[in-house]
Amino acid sequence: MAFRSTEVTVGTTPTLLHTAVSGDLELWVNVDPNESYWIGGSDVTPSKGLALFGPNNSNTFHTRIRPGDELYAVVGSGTATANVLVRSA
């Protein structure tokens, strides 16, 4: 298994966090708990994304992704950093 980590600057328009190219992957996204993030597809917005912020939500997201899957994020204002860790088989 191989791990790869990247740092992605997320803005107020959908920002690509990762695209799965081949094989099943595990993906973790860790964000600053003091910022407001939403994750989802290429059409993610604060009103229809999965929230990653605040006391009632987690600042870490974990999932398995398949070839062709893409994960995007947006922030409420300005820009913020998301750390992405990918493990391939």
Which sequence spans correspond to the domains of the chain? 2-88
pLDDT tier at 24, thresholds 50, 70, 90: confident
- Reported as a pLDDT band with limits 50, 70 and 90, residue 20 is confident
pLDDT tens per residue, range 35-87: 889 999 999 999 999 988 755 666 888 999 888 899 999 999 999 999 999 99
Residues with Cβ within 8 Å of residue 56, at least 6 apart in sequence: none
Does the pLDDT value for residue 32 go beyond 90?
Answer: no
- Which CATH number is 2-88's, of 3.90.870.10, 2.160.10.10, 2.60.120.770, 3.50.50.60? 2.60.120.770
Write down the H helix ranges in 13-63: none
Query: Strands, DSSP E only, in the chain?
Result: 2-10, 15-19, 25-31, 37-40, 50-51, 60-65, 70-75, 80-88
pTM here is 0.89
Residues 65/30/38/62 CA torsion (nearest 10 deg) = 30
pLDDT of residue 70: 93
